[in-house]
Amino acid sequence: MIQQDKRITEYMFPVEIHRGQLREWAEGSLYTDEESVLQCYVSGDADYIDFIEQPVAIVSEQLKEIFDIYQAGLSWRLIVFADMQRMQQTGYWLAHPPSLMCLSPLTEYHRDGTLKKIILDEYAVENHKIFRVQHGSQHIIVDLDVAECILKFNLAGLKLQKVDTERPSI
């Protein structure tokens, strides 16, 4: 599972748009055929990280290229971070991998219904290299091949967490 590294607290994020607006744009842009581009202003001396998890999954150009190598046909929307102080624009991408109903019956939940321990059903995952767990969550899962490639490029601001799998008996 790919996650944002919470140890990095200062990272570039849009300043004139709140998280709810970003989530609304993301949801609306994915259900239209039009090319939708969002330009956001950023400022400060924070780092540009390669993966922003909340409120929606946003990836850097380099991470997008890795994803595209391993799974063609993923849905993307461009987000441009415009830094007026540095006079530069940096392209990021709204990631929207397919959602799979892939949780094993052995998955553990908290009392409020949120996921406690993810266990994937290997048959439901099939040949997907990059996907989202369909449970109203933002969890993006990458195959071991993708994870190894990500580690080779020494990307910033993300971490990988191992997720258990289960092969149900037929």
Between CA 36 and CA 34 the distance in angstroms is 6
SS3 55: coil
Residue (of 157, 123, 165) closest to 141 by Cα position: 165
Cα 166 vs. chain centroid, distance in angstroms? Answer: 23
pLDDT per position in the chain (170 positions), as tens?
Answer: 999 999 998 888 877 777 777 777 777 766 665 667 777 888 778 889 999 988 888 999 999 999 999 998 888 889 898 888 888 899 999 888 888 998 999 998 899 888 889 999 999 888 899 999 887 667 899 999 999 999 999 899 999 999 999 887 65
Strands (E) across the chain are located at 2-4, 37-42, 51-52, 58-60, 75-83, 88-96, 99-100, 108-109, 115-117, 119-121, 130-133, 140-142, 158-160, 164-166
Q: What is the pTM of this model?
A: 0.85
**Which amino acid belongs to residue 130?**
I
- Give the pair of three-digit tokens for residue 86: 């540095």
DSSP type of residue 98: P
